[in-house]
Amino acid sequence: MNDFIKNIIEKSRFFSRNTTPKIISIIFALVMWLYVMGEVNPEMVKEFTGVKVQLLNVETLRQSGLTVIGQEDFTVNVKINGRRNDVYTIRPQDITISADLRGFEKGVNSVPLKVNAPASINYDIYPNELKVSLDEIVKRQKPVEIITTGVPPEGFDPAEAEVALKEVIVEGPESFVRKVEKVIGEVNFDNKTDDFTGKVPLKAVDEDGKAVNGVEVKTKYVDVNLPLYSVKEVKIALELVGNTIDGYDVSNISIKPEVVSIKGPRDLVKGINEIKTKPVNVDGLVGAVERPVELILPTGISLYLSDKTPVVSIAVEKIEVREISYEKESILIDNLDEKYKATFEDGIENITVRVEGPESVINGLDKSNIQLHINAKDIGEGRHSVRVTPKTDKTFKSISVIPEKIEIMIKMDKDTNQ
């Protein structure tokens, strides 16, 4: 090589004369070029952050039954260096970075990066590989549930939805599909009084009702019929059967709660004013007894917001008889015209009240608990046989007055007419 250069120099007329000055000129020119390149167009470094990485053969991966999970949008940082004029012209889009997913398997994979950049620069990327998670694509049947939202007006409540499909297919990465508890559709009844019929969009949710992203519900919509039922409060009607022991009777009976809210089709609910219990048998009962009772719900009717079983309280006591004697003058005469005055005829001095009832009621009973009354409404002058009526706030099995009627005389009140 040296001989070749030497031969060129010897044959060239450029170096035949004034060799030394020419060599000095060449050296000076080279020094100036190096100076200019170093000072005017120096080497420099530039960094791009967040350069997007293209994932290649994603569709091929899906055809093999795998898909990317977790992070799908990858970026890297790129540091380039070169002459300033070259570096200044480089933009992030001039640098292409790709990761080929062909051939990788389920799990976490280290995928090398390929860089396509202008030849005039040098580059360095970090990280220089991606951690890509791949999962198997699966299809699973999941139950469909219709959820109602909003608050309908008072007196209405949604019925159970009639859904065209009980289950639909959910497709996606196995780890995601495994999280799907069910597929739900929502129907809003806020301030609405009409039944709903139509198509409802579906979405996959986990056991907490949160949406599961990254999966596909293959059936986007489902046909739903959802009636809006009437709600009504009615009383509970208790039915007793059987007979108590001779000499005993039911002294008190109550049920809690006394009313219950029912729900059902509007026409059915409209005609219901009470809900009966299954018969409660009092055969052989003595004392105080509490027991749960079942309600007899008509077909198509259900309880509304009630999870408590009604409880009936029954008291069965011994029956006692008491007779109380009243003087006839203690009888109160009601509704007598002010112009009249009434007097009792001779012949009967005392009135007897005979009561039959529970021992707890009869014990301690006295005259103050029962008052005797005569109704003198529309009675004119003369002698009249009138009925004596007992009034009391006590509850007896029976109460009678002996005699049932007495004679009274109605006359004009002289003091009133004066």
Per residue in 189-214, pLDDT (tens digit) is 888 888 999 999 999 999 999 999 99
Calculate what percentage of the chain has a pLDDT beyond 70: 91
Residue 357: how many CB atoms within 10 A of its CB?
21
Supply the pLDDT for residue 18: 64
Q: Which residues are bridge partners to 248 per DSSP?
A: 318
The pLDDT, as a whole number, for residue 417 is 54
CA 52 to mean position of chain CA atoms: 43
- Band of pLDDT at residue 134, cut at 50, 70 and 90: very high
pLDDT of residue 31: 67
Domain 231-318 top-level CATH class: mainly beta
Of residues 287 and 403, more confidently modeled? 403
pLDDT at 38 over 80: no
Considering the chain, tell me which residue range(s) the CATH 2.170.120.30 domain(s) occupy: 43-127, 320-417
Residue of higher predicted confidence among 395 and 400: 400
- pLDDT for residue 260: 93
Helix (H, G, I), strand (E, B) or coil at 236: strand
The closest alpha carbon to 163, from 120, 109, 215, 225, belongs to 225
Write the CA distances from 102 to 38, 61, 125, 128, 244, integer angstroms. Answer: 45, 6, 22, 18, 88
More confident residue, 87 or 137: 137
Provide the pLDDT for residue 6.
56
Domain at 320-417: CATH architecture:
Beta Complex (2.170)
Under the banding of pLDDT at 50, 70 and 90, the label for residue 137 is: very high
Instruction: Kindly indicate whether the domain formed by 137-226 is annotated with CATH number 2.170.120.40.
Output: yes
Query: What DSSP state is assigned to residue 273?
Result: -
Instruction: In whole angstroms, give the CA distance from residue 354 to residue 390.
Output: 10
Eight-class DSSP state of 46: E
Q: For the domain covering 43-127, report its CATH number.
A: 2.170.120.30
Q: What is the pLDDT of residue 360?
A: 85
Rounded to a whole number of angstroms, the CA Rg of the chain reads 52
Q: Cβ distance 291 to 240 under 8 Å?
A: no
Buried b (16+ CB within 10 A) or exposed e, 286-311: eeeeeeebebeeeeebeebeeeeebe
Which has the higher per-residue pLDDT, 13 or 45?
Answer: 45
State the pLDDT at residue 184: 96
**What is the per-residue pLDDT across 71-125, written as a single tens digit (0 to 9) for each?**
889 999 999 998 888 888 888 889 999 999 999 999 999 999 999 999 888 999 9
pLDDT of residue 371: 93
Tell me the average pLDDT across 262-268. 93
CA–CA distance, 69 with 58 (Å, rounded to integer)? 12
pLDDT at 17 over 80: no
Among the residue ranges 4-8, 244-248, 252-256, 412-416, the one predicted with the least confidence is 4-8
- For residue 396, pLDDT over 60 is answered with yes
Across the chain, mean pLDDT equals 87
Name residue, tokens 């780890």: 175
Report how far apart, in Å, the C-alpha atoms of 87 and of each of 60, 96, 261 are: 37, 16, 80
Whether the model pTM is above 0.75: no
Average pLDDT over residues 244-273: 89
Q: In the chain, which residues fall in CATH 2.170.120.40?
A: 137-226, 231-318
Q: What is the percent of the chain where pLDDT is above 90?
A: 50
What's the whole-number mean pLDDT along residues 302-319? 87
pLDDT, residue 162, reads 92
Please provide residue 329's backbone torsions phi and psi, each rounded to the nearest 5 degrees: -70, -15
Asked whether 235 and 258 are in contact (CB, 8 A), the reply is yes
Q: Residue 7 contacts by C-beta under 8 Å, 6 or more apart in sequence?
A: none
Do residues 202 and 144 touch, judged by C-beta distance below 8 A? Answer: yes
What pLDDT score was predicted for residue 418?
A: 52
